[in-house]
């Protein structure tokens, strides 16, 4: 089958379908595929469970091990704890682990479960 024959075959097929129905089918299929891909991307993000590799002072560490503290405070938090939201980005101090934060004089926050 040549390209010209394939073109004639597709054209004859689309001529027998009403144009409005063809456009509706294209819109529905495009939106279905878009929703499906978005759903799969969301599942993939959930499977990561907050684990992200970041480079901190030359060593790749997991974000589950990292803790954050405020320059002006004395408590450290896990990155997903509610107290982190109140710390401005300019005042955040990141540590590779809780032991580094303790060595710098910080104590674990009482309202952050998991510390």
pLDDT (average), residues 82-94: 91
Q: Are residues 37 and 75 in the same domain?
A: no
Q: Answer yes or no: is 113 within a domain.
A: no
Q: Answer yes or no: is 76 within a domain.
A: yes
Residue 30 pLDDT exceeds 80: yes
pLDDT of 48 reads 53
Give the model confidence (pLDDT) of 47-70 as tens digits: 554 444 444 444 444 445 899 999
pLDDT of 47 reads 59
How many domains are there within the chain? 2
Q: Answer yes or no: is 114 within a domain.
A: no
Q: Are residues 57 and 91 in the same domain?
A: yes
Listed in sequence order, the residues at least 6 apart from 1 whose beta carbon sits closer than 8 Å to its beta carbon are 9
Residue 24's alpha-carbon distances to 29, 36, 37, 50, 103, in angstroms, are: 9, 18, 20, 39, 64
Residue 64: domain span: 53-108
Residue 11 pLDDT exceeds 90: no
Higher pLDDT, 38 or 46: 38
Q: Are residues 101 and 61 in the same domain?
A: yes
pLDDT of 55 reads 47
Higher pLDDT, 107 or 113: 107
CB atoms within 10 A of CB 46: 9
């Amino acid at each position: 089958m040549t390209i010209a024959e394939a073109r004639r075959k597709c054209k004859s097929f689309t001529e027998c379908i009403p144009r409005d129905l063809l456009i509706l089918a294209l819109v529905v299929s495009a939106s279905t595929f878009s929703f499906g891909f978005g759903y799969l991307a969301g599942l993939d993000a959930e499977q990561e469970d907050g684990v992200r590799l970041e480079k901190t002072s030359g060593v790749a560490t997991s974000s589950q091990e990292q803790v954050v503290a405020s320059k002006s405070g004395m408590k450290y938090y896990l990155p997903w704890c509610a107290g982190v939201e109140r710390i401005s980005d300019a005042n955040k101090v990141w540590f590779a682990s809780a032991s580094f934060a303790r060595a710098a004089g910080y104590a674990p926050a009482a309202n952050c479960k998991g510390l």
